[in-house]
Amino acid sequence: MLGGEGHSDPWVKLVDYALVSLITINCVFSILESVEDLAIVHGHIFHAFDHFSVAVFSVEYVLRVWTAVEINQPRFRHSFWGRVRFVFTPMAIVDLVAIVPFYLGIFFEVDLRAMRVLRLLRVFKLTRYSQAMSIMIDVLRQEARSIGAMLFVFLVMLVFVSSVMYMLEHPRQPEVFSDIPSAMWWAVVTMTTLGYGDMVPATVAGRVLGACTAVFGVGMIALPAGVLASGFSEQLRRRREEYLESVDKAVQDGRVKPREKRRLEATRLALGLSSEEAARILEYGVKGGQMHCPHCGELIHRNPAP
Amino acid sequence: MLGGEGHSDPWVKLVDYALVSLITINCVFSILESVEDLAIVHGHIFHAFDHFSVAVFSVEYVLRVWTAVEINQPRFRHSFWGRVRFVFTPMAIVDLVAIVPFYLGIFFEVDLRAMRVLRLLRVFKLTRYSQAMSIMIDVLRQEARSIGAMLFVFLVMLVFVSSVMYMLEHPRQPEVFSDIPSAMWWAVVTMTTLGYGDMVPATVAGRVLGACTAVFGVGMIALPAGVLASGFSEQLRRRREEYLESVDKAVQDGRVKPREKRRLEATRLALGLSSEEAARILEYGVKGGQMHCPHCGELIHRNPAP
Amino acid sequence: MLGGEGHSDPWVKLVDYALVSLITINCVFSILESVEDLAIVHGHIFHAFDHFSVAVFSVEYVLRVWTAVEINQPRFRHSFWGRVRFVFTPMAIVDLVAIVPFYLGIFFEVDLRAMRVLRLLRVFKLTRYSQAMSIMIDVLRQEARSIGAMLFVFLVMLVFVSSVMYMLEHPRQPEVFSDIPSAMWWAVVTMTTLGYGDMVPATVAGRVLGACTAVFGVGMIALPAGVLASGFSEQLRRRREEYLESVDKAVQDGRVKPREKRRLEATRLALGLSSEEAARILEYGVKGGQMHCPHCGELIHRNPAP
Amino acid sequence: MLGGEGHSDPWVKLVDYALVSLITINCVFSILESVEDLAIVHGHIFHAFDHFSVAVFSVEYVLRVWTAVEINQPRFRHSFWGRVRFVFTPMAIVDLVAIVPFYLGIFFEVDLRAMRVLRLLRVFKLTRYSQAMSIMIDVLRQEARSIGAMLFVFLVMLVFVSSVMYMLEHPRQPEVFSDIPSAMWWAVVTMTTLGYGDMVPATVAGRVLGACTAVFGVGMIALPAGVLASGFSEQLRRRREEYLESVDKAVQDGRVKPREKRRLEATRLALGLSSEEAARILEYGVKGGQMHCPHCGELIHRNPAP
């Protein structure tokens, strides 16, 4: 999943693995540091490692900005503005957020807890090494309309259910269902079938409404899940198809030249396909997915893609 | 999602956005007003804003009824009966419910809490600006038979499980499983996997039945979710196809005239499709997605729609 | 959903609706009678209605057995053995269970609570008037192998997880995780994401195992749900296809004769299709789903069924 | 599901059923023994049965290793190294784990609770008699990439949500949200919609974050469920297709010889298909489900498999 699986250069791989390990250990340490007993005993280790990490991340950040012009994209080509543009890409911002709080902490008095949380944002640095997050974001973008429609209905029902519940339960449990925002907390906990049990309707009418809310909520919440699941497989299919098109272009002259191979590899990495999948698609593309009538030899149709 | 996204007239858009904002702020204020501390401090703002909203909604209601005859539908064309018919459409009733409680509150002594809940029904006014609710209702209508079948099995199992649970747990926890309606509340909370924890079986037999109910309930509740999810995508597909038919009609003479374009836009709005989707379907309709007859080689029908 | 929707004879419909109402009211009364306050005040009404119901159900049962020979099935045709065979059909047993406890209660001293539960089994009499339960049972039978496989894995994991959890949590919470059966109750409550909160791991190792169990349980429980949901739509598709075949046979000579129409109606009822669906399939069957090349007139292929 | 359903030799079946029963009773006894009251009263029965089981399992293990060379696979053929290789297969390790703790317990002082848990690992011996586990493992392997991607996003969100929640809730509930690992426990319980209720946010900001986490978690957790469900049906389809290929080979000469029949049966068992399914595929394979070329009219390929 992680660690620059696509690069063929062993040194690039090594650096990638080292950085992934550093980020992971860093997050684990930040989490453990919040446990008081551990902080007292091993505090100095956590501190030393944090200083070391910030040093590495700082060097990494400077190098990334410096080499931004080498990225094969026209908008980063300009020696000054290219680097400025790079600084404002989402991944570069994540990299900056990973180190800035430390330097700010030197000059200003900062709340320790807030510092620790900011330090944990470093976990997002890991997303650079995984296509997972990018696929998720593409799925959300692709199904944004459906998801938006469902969230809208969810919100309208939330307001409706919690206001009626407030009316029904407030007289009986004035401490628990004290106001409509509290009732909304109950409604979310019920509609997502969380059911903490900190707020439970006690009147008959409240329980009937609660039962309907629970049944309705199950359907309401399961809907986006179904849409997301089908969107996810659709997204994977599209990426495979896109790769197949590149393969088709590459094999048009009957064979795959080294230059074409390198370009295919780049496409594969950009689409986040595994090597096995890519190999399967390549084989399909080279063989031609075509089917010929075994009797008259004419092309009939292309088999469905793998 | 919201706010008259389809209208090209900027003034219509502006009014729509203003109304959506007004309804939203109104709901937020009604919710906040139920919090005692906020009501004491900011009560006068909430009141003033409520009066202002009712004034705007009243004007809106009168104007909507007045202009009902302009709607491009025969049943609203009659200058008197058309308006009467309009008053009884669901959206007009929602609009009326949004203002009537206020005027009633002037003449009668009304419970404040009930008033607030009635005021929150204004949230349904938002559904006018979103196709989401109408799609949901169409999905429910389309899958009504399946959903009904599942609800029936759900209810039968509910009665059965809760009566057996009552028999098993009543002797051990007479206060908790006090009667069958209580046991039904437990059964709903368990079958929807809510699990508040306010009622938990304590006997061995009760726990075995509880475990079976939970496992069974998961399947039972997930079924309608699956059906709804597939119904939702089916509904979207149908709407796209309906739009494609309009496109087909429009491009029959080879090009899309301005009058046809406006009609297509109206269809798009009525079906709740996004502009991007509509553009994709239009492109497909114009290019045609042709298939040729294997016998005479002539064009027969199109590839599957996008 | 309920109430003999398929019969054209209005008297049959009336009797069906009356019986459905009787069963429903009977169940509601049995549920309410368990509430002590209501039992004290309205006890005599509940009793009178119960006596009346038993009388009606007894007459219904005798008549059903008596007229069993009229059912259009060879195995019920024999004047004595046919009726005996009928008595042992599931629905006839349900009918018997609905009345026998009452008569037993006259001769023997029976626990009141057990009586009430037995009386609530009458709810299963409703399944006669709905195809829902039969579709569910068919789905379960169709997917029995998959469901069985999943239940097996579920049970193995249940035993494994609960025994490890017992080992981890027993020393810390000897009262709560007192033995492995208790830990199994926790495991079921966690794997179904119920989460009552009556048993919660407190050690670090227990919480890590609990987290894994919850994540694993979600996938484990969602699997059969997905399988059941697809099995459900598959079952509906099969029934539609079966009906289409009958339609195909009926329209072979170009028109649907009255005798064929009646037979189709019987098939529709047996398959539990709605009238609208049947009409849609009939129209498709009569028109012929065929597609002809518009140029050379040859048949190309049958369109997908509705 | 269980019990060597595929073997035609009645003695093999008998032994299989006996072993399955022995393992099942053994697990049930191990579970019951953890209940103190039962251990005191029936302890000697549990002990005697455990000794008997270990004896049987030991004999079984020795026989299995001894006869390993008879397995129709080249890597087990060598009279010494074949058996050594067999000892390191997963099922042989499970068999060893089922008996070793008992012998170790004779020589060393072992914690009773740990012993019982090790004894319950015998439940995995059952997986030999069911294809369920192997199908599950194949599904997981097949969808490993998707599942991995989702787990990665799940973990990143988990770290993010719990660190922010810790910051928000720690000042208000320092005992409950005492450190980030505790907050992570809350986050898992919330994202899986378990909702034990042992940790509940109390601040407004915490509740808003909790609500978002719950809604987001529902989608996040439902995704792998959908992927697994479709992977499961895909896996079943693949196995049916593999069987169809064997059938195709067997029927090439027009009929199925006894030797081919036995080989087909072996394939069926290896793929975990039911006899009915196999029969349906066989019938399909023999009949052929042909399609003809639209150009020269000759047979090309088959209709989609059943």
List pLDDT tens digits, range C19-68.
999 999 999 999 998 898 898 999 899 989 999 999 999 999 999 999 88
Instruction: Please tell me the distance from the alpha carbon of residue C156 to that of residue D122, in angstroms, as a whole number.
Output: 10
Q: Rounded to 5 degrees, what angle do the CA atoms C75, C78, C82 make?
A: 55
**Nearest CB to C152: which of D30, D130, D195?**
D130
Pick the residue of C143, C160, C180, C302 with the most D CBs within 10 A to test the interface with D by mutation: C180
User: Who among D120, D193, D226 is closest to C159 (CB)?
Assistant: D120
pLDDT of residue C253: 67
Output the pLDDT for position C2.
41
Q: pLDDT by residue (tens digit) across D238-285?
A: 787 788 888 777 776 666 777 777 778 777 777 767 777 777 777 766
Q: Are A197 and C193 inside 8 Å of each other by CB?
A: no
Helix/strand/coil for B86:
helix
Question: Taking CA atoms, what residue in A is nearest to D197?
Answer: A196
Q: Output the pLDDT for position A59.
A: 94
| Of the partner residues D120, D132, D228, the one whose CB lies closest to the CB of residue C219 | D228
The pLDDT of B210-218, averaged and rounded, is: 89
Contact list in B for residue D196 (CB cut-off 8 A) is 197
Note the pLDDT of residue B301: 45
Torsion, CA A29, CA A35, CA A38, CA A44, rounded to 10: 50
Contact between A250 and A283 (Cβ < 8 Å): no
Query: How large is the ipTM?
Result: 0.82
B225 vs A213: CA distance, rounded Å: 15
- Percent of chain C topping pLDDT 90: 33
pLDDT tens-digit series, residues C204-263: 999 999 999 998 887 777 677 777 777 777 777 778 778 888 877 777 666 677 777 777
Return mean pLDDT, chain B.
82
Regarding predicted confidence, which is higher, B171 or C70?
B171
Place of tokens 């009937």: A208
Residues of A in contact with C197 (CB under 8 A): 196-197
CB A13 within 8 A of CB A3: yes
Considering A240-244, C128-132, C271-275, D75-79, the range whose residues carry the highest mean pLDDT is D75-79
pLDDT of residue A142: 80
Taking the C-alpha atoms of residue D210 and residue A176, their distance in angstroms, rounded to an integer, is: 18
> In terms of pLDDT, which residue wins out, C301 or C172?
C172
Which amino acid appears at position A276 of this protein?
E
Q: Which residue has the higher pLDDT, C115 or A120?
A: A120
Quick one: pLDDT at residue D301?
A: 45
Q: Is C232:C141 a contact under the CB 8 Å cutoff? A: no
> Own/partner pairs for B1-10, CB < 8 Å, 24+ apart?
B1/A145, B1/A148, B1/A149, B1/A152, B1/B130, B1/B132, B2/A152, B2/B126, B2/B129, B2/B130, B3/B129, B4/B129, B5/B275, B6/B265, B6/B268, B6/B269, B8/B265
What pLDDT does B288 receive?
A: 52
Lowest-confidence range among C149-158, D69-78, D79-88? D69-78
Asked if pLDDT for residue C198 goes beyond 50, the answer is yes
Residue of A142, A173, A218 to mutate, interface with B, max B Cβ within 10 Å: A218
Residues B129-144 have pLDDT tens digits of 877 777 778 888 888 8
pLDDT at res. B295: 55
Please say whether the beta carbons of A278 and A15 come within 8 A.
Answer: no
Amino acid type, D166: Y
Smallest CA–CA distance, residue D294 to chain B, in Å, is 6
C193 touches chain A (CB under 8 A): yes
Q: Which residues of chain A have pLDDT under 70?
A: 1-8, 222, 252-255, 272, 284-306
> Facing residues of B292 across strands?
B299
pLDDT, chain D, mean: 82
Averaged pLDDT, B200-216: 93
Contact between D240 and D273 under an 8 Å Cβ cutoff? The reply is yes
| Per-residue pLDDT reduced to its tens digit, D216-235 | 887 777 677 777 777 777 77
D230 to chain B, any CB pair closer than 8 A? The answer is no
C-beta separation of A225 from D225 below 8 A: yes
**What distance in Å separates residue B199's CA from the closest CA in chain D?**
13
Q: How many CB atoms lie within 10 A of CB D106?
A: 7
pLDDT tier, C185 (very low <50, low <70, confident <90, very high otherwise):
very high
CB C102 within 8 A of CB C116: no
Taking the model in full, what pTM does it have?
Answer: 0.85
Give yes or no for C153 touching D (CB within 8 A).
yes
State residue A93's pLDDT score: 92
Q: Which amino acid is at C144?
A: A
D196 Cβ under 8 Å from any chain B Cβ: yes
Regarding predicted confidence, which is higher, A219 or B29? B29
| A195: nearest Cα among D148, B181, B135, B195 | B195
- Tens digits of residue pLDDT in B109-119: 777 777 778 88
A63: left (phi over 0), alpha (psi -120 to 50) or beta: alpha
For the ranges A176-180, D69-73, D98-102, the lowest mean pLDDT is seen at D69-73
Q: How far apart are CA D276 and CA D269, in angstroms?
A: 13
Does B146 sit within 8 Å of C131, measured CB to CB? no
Residue of C118, C180, C196, C271 to mutate for B, most B C-beta atoms under 10 A: C196
Q: What is the pLDDT of residue A268?
A: 77
pLDDT of residue C291: 47
Most confident range (mean pLDDT) of A76-85, C274-283, D286-295 is A76-85
Which residues does chain B have within 8 Å of residue C230's beta carbon, measured at their own beta carbons? 226
The confidence score (pLDDT) of residue D3 equals 38
